[in-house]
Amino acid sequence: MNGCDNYKGIAFWRFDESGESHLYFVISDVDVDGNVLIVNVSHFDENGDKSCELDIDDHRDIKKRLKFV
């Protein structure tokens, strides 16, 4: 992966087919095959699972309460 072994903690935005942007996080170290685990976040839902919540203070790119999906 571009000669870098430390991607864990990196956040990036990616656009879907409709043009809407989504925030993703790299949450693992690079494995022996050069892969990392990437998760995205979605709008917070009061009725949803609260085990993976993120709030404004958790990362500079987070502007409202979110959850991992």
SS3 readout for 36-68: CCEEEEEECCCCCCCCCEECHHHCCCCCCCEEE
Per-residue pLDDT, 36: 93
Per-residue pLDDT, 50: 67
Per-residue pLDDT, 1: 44
* 8-44 pLDDT, tens digit each: 888 898 998 998 888 898 989 999 998 999 988 877 6
Where along the chain do its domains lie?
11-68
Give the residue ranges of DSSP H helices in the chain: none
Mean pLDDT of the region 52-63: 79
Q: How many CB atoms lie within 10 A of CB 36?
A: 15
Which neighbouring-strand residues pair with 38?
Answer: 26
DSSP character for 69? -
Per-residue pLDDT, 18: 92
Q: How many CB atoms lie within 10 A of CB 66?
A: 21
**CA 64 to centroid of chain Cα atoms:** 14
Per-residue pLDDT, 33: 93
